[in-house]
Structure 1
Amino acid sequence: MYQFEKVDKKLLGYQIEEELMNYILKEPVNPGEKIPNEFELAEKFGVGRSTIREAVKGLVSKGVLEVRRGSGTYVISHISLEDDPLGFARFKDKYELAIELCEVRLMMEPEIAALAAQYASEEEKKKLKSLCDEVEELYRNGENHLKKDIEFHTYIASCSKNRVVEMLVPIINTAVMTFGKLTHRKLMNETIETHRAVTNAIIAGDSIGARCAMVMHLTYNRQMMSRLMAEHGNETTEMSDE
């Protein structure tokens, strides 16, 4: 059972918010379940109902709680928007998420690669080649390559010298991780070849080549996810028919 801590009434609502989040995680109160009403929470935390309302409002804004009029306050996620600012954890179907992330990457990464080819320094080009080599080695040795793969794509983004692009890196990172977990190395040869093509084009300062190579890389990913999603849909249909 979660042990409630009495909190000084002078402390601000955000501190109660933090304590309430701890309660939700440690009790635990799972998504879809209701938390105690504000009378009970006020008594347990030793604060006024207005402070509890403020704390609840804070967790509602972070996507953790949902107030349902006439019913109560329910947990909708254990992950706050601060930890998952783009809200990807709320996608129930990871195949659909992966497809949509592929589409977003196709909008972004070819141009990012083109910018990297234009602006990467000689030192950065050497580093990029090293990362490309490391990803390939991990792939061929059957080792977990995802962390290094993410580092490779993140580094291309940093080579673009565009600060806004660097702020969009979490989208790319999530996409690489989601894709890797669902495909289980099914595109090893295609990934190695297109990573190398992107890298060589950036090293050569060839923006058009870098753009085209990245389009090819992401098109392979998109096609694979479409096949996997179709298989996943068939499996779901078969299970529902049993």
Structure 2
Amino acid sequence: MSGLLAGIEPIRREPIAIEIARRLVDYLLSGEIGPGQRMPSERQLAEAFGVGRSAMREAIKSLSLLGLVDVRHGDGTYLRKADASLLPQVIEWGLLLGEPRTRDLVEARQKIEEVIAALAAERRTDDDVGELRVLLARMETAAEPEVAAAVFVEADVAFHLRLAEAARNTALRDVLGGIQALLRVWISRVIAAGDRDVSYREHVPILEAVERGDPTAAEAAMAAHMRAAALRLERAIAGRLAVDGGDGGRRGDGGRRGDGEPPG
């Protein structure tokens, strides 16, 4: 009988503090608490979640270490005011925990990019193509290992945003612009995995299809790039989880990070 069960792995139960942290991120993203506002007390949150105060305390400590909340002793816990660094941290924390809203945002970005590529192929001008060529050339140069990864990230983000301009659809352009934080987190995590040249080469057929005015090919090339990029993102996240202890930081101490550093 034991041989028949050899391929079955036991179900791993994660510490309650990790589950609480995941639900707290979802709560913070829901808009119930505005930036700079005080969150309900530890006791109130523990009662609402149906968990012990010690587990809730550990979850809040994790979010504090990530810079998502400010714990003011004697005053309460506050959601950090919105700034340029907060949203990327929320997004990456959500990716690490499999937070549903963040996963939905990743999926939405994939589909938006495909539509944008097709429309850009139909509506692009010579100026659009020229500027996209410049950005693609910048990506090629930045793909060299001796160039700082941040240079590639900026060129990659700029390429996608410029492609949105070429699509001549302000709604799609604004939506993509509104998730620049996701773009930067996504691309930064992938680039950290050493895939700059691969990513650059995936952009080449996108621009070629846009340049020759082939919306079907442009959409297909973007879809292929998005699928590959999503797989690289998952691999990068898996690598990050392994670095954090082989189990995504899900340690017996309630998931506390040993060095107190935020991911990314």
TM (norm. structure 2) is 0.58
CA distance in 2, matches of 1:160, 1:238: 39
- Answering whether residue 168 of structure 2 is matched by residue 166 of structure 1, we say no
Query: Which of these residues, 126, 134, 137, is aligned with residue 133 of structure 1?
Result: 137
- Answering whether residue 95 of structure 2 is matched by residue 77 of structure 1, we say no
Contact 1:79-1:89 at 8 Å conserved across structures:
no
Query: Which consecutive segments of 4 or more residues in structure 1 shift more than 6 A?
Result: 69-73
Corresponding position of 1:142: 147
Residues 213-222 or 99-108, more deviating: 99-108
Q: 1:112 to 1:73 in 2, by over 3 A?
A: farther
Correspondence 1:201-216 to 2 at 5 A: 201-216=209-224
* Number of equivalent positions: 181
Q: Deviations over 1:103-146 (max 9, x none)?
A: 22212101101001111111111111111111111112533211
Deviation, structure 1 residue 159: 0.7
Corresponding position of 2:52: none
Corresponding position of 1:107: 111
Deviation, structure 1 residue 177: 1.0
Q: 1:67 to 1:226 in 2, by over 3 A?
A: closer
Q: 1:204 to 1:219 in 2, by over 3 A?
A: same
Contact 1:102-1:221 at 8 Å conserved across structures:
no
CA distance in 2, matches of 1:166, 1:211: 16
CA distance in 2, matches of 1:94, 1:108: 19
Q: 1:148 to 1:231 in 2, by over 3 A?
A: closer
Contact 1:101-1:171 at 8 Å conserved across structures:
no
- Answering whether residue 128 of structure 2 is matched by residue 124 of structure 1, we say yes
CA distance in 2, matches of 1:101, 1:186: 24
- Answering whether residue 40 of structure 2 is matched by residue 68 of structure 1, we say yes
Q: 1:185 to 1:226 in 2, by over 3 A?
A: closer
Corresponding position of 2:25: none
Deviation, structure 1 residue 231: 3.5
- Answering whether residue 247 of structure 2 is matched by residue 237 of structure 1, we say yes
Q: Deviations over 1:2-36 (max 9, x none)?
A: xxxxxxxxxxxxxxxxxxxxxxxxxxxxxxxxxxx
Corresponding position of 2:160: 153
Contact 2:33-2:39 at 8 Å conserved across structures:
no
Between the aligned residues of both structures, percent identity stands at 18
Corresponding position of 1:193: 201
Query: Which of these residues, 223, 230, 245, is aligned with residue 222 of structure 1?
Result: 230
| Residue segments in structure 1 that go unaligned for 5+ positions in a row | 1-59
Decide which structure has the larger Cα Rg and report it.
1
Q: Which secondary structure state, in structure 2, belongs to the residue aligned with residue 76 of structure 1? A: strand
Q: Which has the higher contact order (CA 8 A, sep 6+)?
A: 2
| Residue segments in structure 2 that go unaligned for 5+ positions in a row | 1-31, 45-73, 254-264
Q: 1:172 to 1:116 in 2, by over 3 A?
A: farther
Contact 2:117-2:206 at 8 Å conserved across structures:
yes
Q: 1:127 to 1:185 in 2, by over 3 A?
A: farther
CA distance in 2, matches of 1:222, 1:238: 19
Query: Which of these residues, 162, 172, 182, is aligned with residue 175 of structure 1?
Result: 182
